[in-house]
Amino acid sequence: MLYAVFMSSAPPPFPKLQESLDEPRLLQVGSAADEPCLRADAARNRAKLLQAAARLIAEHGVAGVTMEAVAAAAQVGKGTVFRRFGDRTGLLLALLDHSAGQLQADFLGGPPPLGPGAPPLERLRAFGVAVIRHSAERLDLQLAAQPEPTRRFSHPAVRALRAHVMVLLRQILPDADCELLSLTLMAYLDPALISHLTRQCEMPMERLEAGWTDLVDRVTGAASSR
């Protein structure tokens, strides 16, 4: 079905992107339930809880991170952890936010080819390689933090990555349905797939990175111009 859409001689009109997506800016990746501006004491409590969770991961792995264990390590009531993060998935997603923010800073304002200053095709190639490496370094946490389907695509960190891919695709393929294309490309960067290929299939990272470049070139038509 998607193949028919992509190969159609008359693709459906693409809705105009919000102007804010066309201008580089650091997208917010905090939990959707976070207040826009935490009070100082609430911010300190949040940082304390995240530090406790990070210590538990370092000592016991991701499996050792439970709401009860974090509350005990931070010496607060369990209800405080639930109020701040909602559930274990929310807590694990919050742990990923710092590194996600750094990745965003790199592709929105870092040096080229990942950051501004390189052609969009080169930036898209570099983006996928950066995400693959970022995920591979944090696979256990990435897998444990993957929310259920209803939340999987709506988390701000995920939306920020896809928005960047969509903006680059719009610059390369202005007449394409870049919303669907961005979802297709992002599927290649799914942590579960990276885990399967690197751990179960023992595929080297170099092959995954080369596969991303090949996929981007075929989707954008760059492969035919080589």
Global pTM value: 0.71
What's residue 61's pLDDT? 85
Tell me where in the chain the CATH 1.10.357 domain(s) lie: 96-221
What confidence category does residue 223 fall into, taking pLDDT thresholds of 50, 70 and 90?
A: confident
pLDDT in tens, 180-193: 999 999 999 999 99
Place of tokens 């050792």: 64
What pLDDT shows up at residue 178? Answer: 97
Instruction: Give one word for 99, left, alpha or beta, with left for phi > 0 and alpha for psi -120 to 50.
Output: alpha
Which 8-state DSSP code applies to residue 61?
-
Decide: helix, strand or coil at residue 55.
helix
| Cβ neighbours of 201 (radius 10 Å) | 10
Least confident of 80-84, 95-99, 171-175: 95-99
Q: Which fold has domain 96-221?
A: Tetracycline Repressor; domain 2 (1.10.357)
Give the per-residue pLDDT at 38.
Answer: 56
Average pLDDT rounded to a whole number, residues 176-204: 96
Torsion sign (Cα): 101, 219, 189, 135: negative
Tell me if 152 sits within 8 A of 162, measured CB to CB. Answer: no
For the stretch 37-65, pLDDT in tens is 557 777 788 888 988 888 888 888 888 88
Residue 226 is predicted with a pLDDT of 65
Helix (H), strand (E), coil (C) string for 6-26: HHCCCCCCCCCCCHHHHCCCC
Q: Where in the chain is the domain with CATH 1.10.10.60?
A: 40-86
Torsion of CA 43, 49, 55, 61, to 10 degrees: -130
Domain topology for 40-86: Arc Repressor Mutant, subunit A (1.10.10)
Residue 3: per-residue pLDDT: 36
Q: Cis before residue 113, ω within 30 degrees of 0?
A: yes
Average pLDDT across the chain, whole number: 82
pLDDT of residue 60: 85
- Check residue 12 and give its pLDDT: 39
Neighbours of 200 (CB within 10 A): 8
- If you average pLDDT over residues 82-88, what whole number do you get? 90
Q: Is the predicted pLDDT of residue 164 greater than 60, yes or no? A: yes
Compute CA 116 distance to the chain's CA centroid, rounded to the nearest angstrom. 19
Q: How confident is the model at residue 89 (pLDDT cuts 50, 70, 90)?
A: confident
pLDDT at 94: 84
